[in-house]
């Protein structure tokens, strides 16, 4: 084991643990996660953190968190609580893109329509320039055709499915995927970035862009999408302003409990 690898919750800074719990709550508050879906954060080259098998909105303490191995998506601790069956989405993306620091999987109903239609999701709202001129769609049926014995429940439940999904994000550029977001046919989407906060932001604005695009389609007029250059320029939106606001929103909401938040301490 290398010196900079993290394999236990006790090795993780309290700041990151608190931030991770806030991320779970923020994503629920903004309708990206309900009882299902999940977000992760890389801890070291070989490990990442996710909450255990429960609705992320209810994650409240370190007892709800699990350290996983990038290599195979399995928990580091033999006695770890049950985890999400689709954790392989995260492990295979971390494996394919070494500079990716956080991964989100959402079932947002605002985004799903673009995964099953011929209309691509693309940047038309300046906060979502990172989406570019077309968001790729991964179809799990491509794997089912090659391996017909699969259950075919649309879930990414092993490394083979996770690897195929990861490839749809495109080639690695400086350790990051070409496309930060990919849709999953009839399922949802995945967002990635180089920080936990940025992944939350990309999730929030992916859904907002989907709403704007759907509303524009409803007007029956030709839509003027963002150009590739506009997307790259606006895609640099930071999290300095929205993150403190989002944290305050969930800290003030009694549904969410974060035992590591200073506001919740006596």
Instruction: Report yes or no: 199 and 177 within 8 Å, Cβ to Cβ.
Output: no
Q: How far apart are CA 103 and CA 191, in angstroms?
A: 6
- Name the DSSP class of 216: H
Closest CA to 15 of 53, 41, 51: 41
Which structure tokens are listed for 74? 């399995």
**Which residue among 5, 8, 74, 86 is the active-site one?**
86
Spell out a b/e string for 227-236, using b for 16 or more CB atoms within 10 Å of the CB, else e.
Answer: eeeebeebbe
Q: How far apart are CA 137 and CA 83, in angstroms?
A: 26
What are the beta bridge partners of residue 192?
Answer: 103
Instruction: Report yes or no: 14 and 260 within 8 Å, Cβ to Cβ.
Output: yes
Closest CA to 28 of 44, 39, 12: 39
86 included as an active-site residue = yes
Closest CA to 39 of 63, 56, 53, 61: 56
Q: What is the DSSP string of 50-74?
A: EE-SS-GGG--SGGGEEEEETTTS-
**Which residues carry out catalysis?**
86
């Amino acid at each position: 084991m290398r010196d900079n690898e993290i394999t236990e919750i006790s090795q993780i800074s309290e700041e990151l643990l608190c931030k991770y719990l806030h991320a779970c709550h923020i994503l629920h508050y903004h309708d990206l996660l309900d009882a299902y879906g999940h977000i992760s954060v890389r801890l070291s080259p070989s490990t990442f953190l996710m909450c255990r098998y429960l609705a992320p909105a209810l994650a409240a303490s370190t007892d709800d968190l699990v350290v996983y191995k990038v290599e195979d998506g399995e928990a580091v601790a033999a006695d770890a609580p049950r985890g999400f069956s689709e954790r392989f989405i995260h492990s295979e993306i971390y494996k394919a893109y070494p500079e990716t620091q956080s991964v989100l999987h959402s079932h947002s109903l605002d985004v799903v329509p673009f995964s099953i239609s011929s209309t691509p999701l693309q940047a038309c709202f300046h906060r979502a320039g990172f989406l570019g001129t077309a968001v790729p769609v991964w179809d799990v049926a491509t794997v089912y055709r090659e391996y017909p014995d699969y259950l075919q429940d649309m879930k990414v439940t092993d490394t083979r499915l996770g690897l195929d999904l990861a490839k749809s994000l495109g080639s690695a550029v400086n350790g990051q995927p070409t496309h930060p977001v990919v849709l999953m046919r009839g399922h949802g989407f995945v967002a990635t970035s180089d920080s936990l906060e940025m992944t939350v932001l990309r999730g929030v604005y992916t859904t907002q862009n989907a709403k704007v695009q759907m509303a524009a389609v409803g007007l029956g007029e030709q839509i003027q999408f963002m150009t590739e250059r506009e997307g790259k320029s606006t895609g640099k939106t930071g999290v300095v302003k929205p993150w403190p606001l989002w944290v305050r929103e969930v800290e003030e909401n009694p549904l969410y409990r974060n035992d590591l938040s200073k506001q919740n301490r006596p």
